[in-house]
Amino acid sequence: MGKRRWSKVWLYAFTAFIIIWPLYQIIHMTHEKTEKPNATKLLYQVALFQMEMLGSFLHDAGQSGNTGELNELKQVLYSANFAHEHLVMAMGEDQLTYLPSLNQLLQFIIRLQIGGQRPLKPDEAQTLQEASKQFAEMYNAYEKMLSSGNEIVGSQNSRLMQADKAILELIKKRLLTP
C-alpha cells in the first residue's frame, strides 16, 4: 500500500500544479505594471518633428519662384507653432518659452500671398533665406532642449529665446519696410 499512497500524492501534486500554475500566470500578467510612456516626452518628439519639417520647408522657401509655392510652408509653420504652444502648456511657461517668431513668420507669408500668386521679389526671397539660417540655430537648440530626465535644459531654452528674438527682429523689420 505504500507504493499506492505515493502515487496518489504525486497525482494530487501534479494536478494541483497543472491548475495553480496557469492561474498564477494569469494573475501575474493582469497585475504586471507596464511602464507608460511619458506624455510630455511624446509631445516633445512631435514638436521636434514639426520643427524639423519646418526647417526643411523654410530652407526650400528661399528658392521659391512665387508666393503660391509657400502654401506648404504656411501649413507646416502653423503645425509647428501649434505643437510648440501645446508643449509650452504642458511644460509650463516658466520652463519653456513661447516662440512668437513662428506666428510673425506666418503673418509674413500670409502678407506675401495676399496679392495672389505672384513672383517673389528678391528681397522677400532673401528674407526667407535669412529666416532659414536663423531657424537652423533655433532647431539646434530645440533638438537638445529635453534632458534625459524629461526636463527642459535652461541653457537650451535661452538659446531658443535668442534665436526666436533674431527671427522676430528680422521679420518685424521686413514687415515694417514697404
- What confidence tens digit (pLDDT) does each residue in 28-64 have? 777 766 556 688 899 999 999 999 999 999 999 888 8
Residue 27 confidence (pLDDT) above 60? yes
Which one has a higher pLDDT value, 112 or 28?
112
Q: What is the 3-state secondary structure (H, E, C) of the chain?
A: CHHHHHHHHHHHHHHHHHHHHHHHHHHHHHHCCCCCCCHHHHHHHHHHHHHHHHHHHHHHHCCCCEHHHHHHHHHHHHHHHHHHHHHHHHHCCCCCCCCHHHHHHHHHHHHHHCCCCCECCHHHHHHHHHHHHHHHHHHHHHHCCECCCCCECHHHHHHHHHHHHHHHHHHHHHHHCC
pLDDT tens sequence across 115-149: 888 999 899 899 999 999 999 999 999 999 988 88
Which one has a higher pLDDT value, 7 or 107?
107
pLDDT of residue 32: 61
Residue 1 confidence (pLDDT) above 70? no
Residue 111: CB partners within 8 Å, gap ≥ 6? 175
